[in-house]
Amino acid sequence: GRPGAGRATGSACGSNLLAVLIPCHRVLRGDGSLGGYAWGVDRKEALLAREKRK
């Protein structure tokens, strides 16, 4: 990726009001960990687990 792009992505996802249409919960940190989520990391983890089952 591009240096500094992660910060821009985080800012865009943090202000995302259309979480249903723009799936920011899929954004992970560079090391593969979950990182933050506007509605909490527990919900992010649940959404990812739900998608994995499908």
Which residues belong to the active site? 24
Residues 6 or more apart whose CB falls under 8 angstroms from that of 38 comprise 13, 14, 16, 19, 24
What Rg do the C-alpha atoms of the chain give, in angstroms?
Answer: 11
